[in-house]
Amino acid sequence: MSNLLIDLTQKGWALPVLGALEKGAIARTHPLAKQLQTSPISIRTAIAHLIMLGLLKENPGHGHPLRPEYLRTPLGEKLGPLTLEVIRYGEQQDVLPLLRRRWTLPIIDALEEARSFSDLRRGIIHVTDRALSLSLKDLARANLVRRKVLVEHCPPATLYLPTPQSQKLRRPLDGFTR
């Protein structure tokens, strides 16, 4: 499990901002807010978070008002194409709002194979039982996770399995290891 992926998904607009910059968006607060159809405050918060993670930095240059305010770091450049893959998948499958949620991508990343709830809980740092439970329900509704109840066990056991749809996200998510 990648701590970088967990850290990145803490702010809902961090992933879309990184993806927009990869697409060539103007690296300024208001143009990004307009392009992503959100508030400048949300963008500023995401940018501050990306700076803290070492994915963006402030442009040290002065001069023209159209000069970008922020530049991607080498790590931000490396993760840009992967972020764009995740965003494109979310747009194509109409699940982008779900992918922007805090625990969605870390759960998909942790589900390489069938795992129990407690295994997932131990494998994802800082996730609460409630957050994991709600996220798994949302992922099952979106057909990104399959829930299998093993009735032959006493008491019955539940396993969570990746679906073919979630497996398509595995390759870009694997790139989020530092």
Please give the angle made by the CA atoms of 131, 134 and 138, to the nearest 5 degrees. 130
- pLDDT above 80 for 65: no
Q: Which of 32-41, 66-75, 102-111 has the lowest mean pLDDT?
A: 66-75
Mean pLDDT of the chain: 91
CATH number at residue 24: 1.10.10.10
Q: pLDDT value at position 81?
A: 95
Report how many domains make up the chain: 1
Produce one character per residue of 84-104: b if its CB has 16 or more CB atoms within 10 Å, e if not. bbbbebbeebebbebbbbbbb
Provide the residue range defining the domain that includes 122. 3-174
Share of the chain above pLDDT 90, in %: 76
As a whole number, mean pLDDT of residues 70-85 equals 94
Q: Are 45 and 13 in contact (CB under 8 A)?
A: yes
> Rounded to a whole number, what is the largest CA-CA distance in the chain?
70
Rounded CA-CA distance 72/172 in Å is: 18
How far is CA 149 from each of CA 88, 115, 158, rounded to the nearest angstrom? Answer: 32, 12, 4
Residue 79 pLDDT grade (very low, low, confident, very high; cuts 50, 70, 90) = very high
Beta strand 115-116 pairing with 157-162: antiparallel
Q: Are 53 and 8 in contact (CB under 8 A)?
A: yes
- pLDDT above 60 for 50: yes
Q: pLDDT value at position 2?
A: 64
Residue 119 pLDDT grade (very low, low, confident, very high; cuts 50, 70, 90) = very high
Q: pLDDT value at position 148?
A: 93
As a whole number, mean pLDDT of residues 30-56 equals 95
Count the residues in the chain.
178
> What DSSP character marks residue 145?
E
Q: Are 11 and 46 in contact (CB under 8 A)?
A: yes
Q: What's the predicted TM-score (pTM) here?
A: 0.89
pLDDT top residue among 67 and 164: 164
Q: pLDDT value at position 3?
A: 85
As a whole number, mean pLDDT of residues 6-33 equals 93
Q: What is the dihedral of CA 90, 93, 98, 103, to 10 degrees?
A: -70
As a whole number, mean pLDDT of residues 90-110 equals 93
As a whole number, mean pLDDT of residues 27-52 equals 95
Q: Which of 35-39, 49-53, 64-68, 78-82 has the lowest mean pLDDT?
A: 64-68
